[in-house]
A and B are shown apart, each in its own frame.
Chain A
């Protein structure tokens, strides 16, 4: 069991990292969007390994479904495919910055002694999430719905054809 989880983790981690690298480096932006879907799906697999089944379903529905479709629509509506995915002129400072950030975070991760709990995780997390969302976090939940409404209205107003 443990060995299977380990193999699944390394496979999914490699898949998500390589597809993310392709998203960043591919010249064809349409292919980059398709590999972004692959990256989202492998992250959904990682959520299953972390025993967050509800979030894995949310990841597939919202990221791999809705957000990637929106991105593909935006690519087609803006004629981005012809322009490709050009990079800025001086990439090396940005690369160095990203490496420095990675090094700092990895240093913090491996130098901290985490208080890992040995308790078994909740069996059916969906029930627990519903309970938490509608009792303890009901105010943020309602605020999130207002945020979504504002985002919908803003998006409609921004792309409306002017008379």
Chain B
């Protein structure tokens, strides 16, 4: 129970990922969806670093990958929030269900 191994970290990562998935699919506000996506990014990073720590402890490839994920997440959240703000200017709402300009 107190002997923590790879599977503990992977299970925690899976739980966080599912919480983020549920949040990203069930919220209406675009900002809340972005917050849930950030939780999912965090879950993936935990799995990546746990693999790096337990499977290849002498290589740091997993940690380098996690750094790139953080970079992409930062770019994603900056652009996502810019889109949210311009959506709010155009429609006075950040409800993802009402953003249907490109609906056929």
Contacts and interface: CB of A to CB of B under 8 A. Distances in A.
Contact of B88 (A40, A66, A78, A152): A78
A147 B101 CA distance: 27
B42 A63 contact: yes
The 5 closest A-B pairs by CB, nearest first: A6-B2, A151-B75, A24-B23, A98-B22, A102-B18
A148 B75 CA distance: 6
Contact of B29 (A29, A52, A159): A29
A9 B88 CA distance: 41
B99 interface: no
Nearest to A160: B86
B12 A13 contact: yes
Interface in A70-106: 70-71, 73-75, 77-80, 83, 85-88, 91, 94-95, 97-99, 101-102, 105-106
Contacts of B97: 88
A2 interface: yes
Interface of A: 2-3, 5-7, 9-10, 13, 16-17, 20-21, 23-24, 29, 32-33, 36, 39-40, 43, 46-47, 49-52, 54-55, 58-59, 62-63, 66-67, 70-71, 73-75, 77-80, 83, 85-88, 91, 94-95, 97-99, 101-102, 105-106, 109-110, 114-117, 119-122, 125, 128-129, 132-133, 137, 140, 144, 147-148, 150-152, 154-155, 158-159
Interface in B16-69: 16-23, 25-29, 31-32, 34-36, 38-39, 42, 45-46, 49-50, 52-58, 60-61, 63-64, 66-68
B79 to A, nearest CB: 5
Given A6-B2, A133-B67, A158-B79, A85 B32 contact: yes
Contacts, number: 240
Interface string B55-96: 111101101101110111111111101111110100001110
A116 B54 contact: yes
A151 B66 CA distance: 19
Contacts of B10: 109
A4 B38 CA distance: 29
A84 B78 CA distance: 22
Nearest to B83: A158
Contacts of B38: 36, 40, 63, 67, 71
Nearest to A26: B32
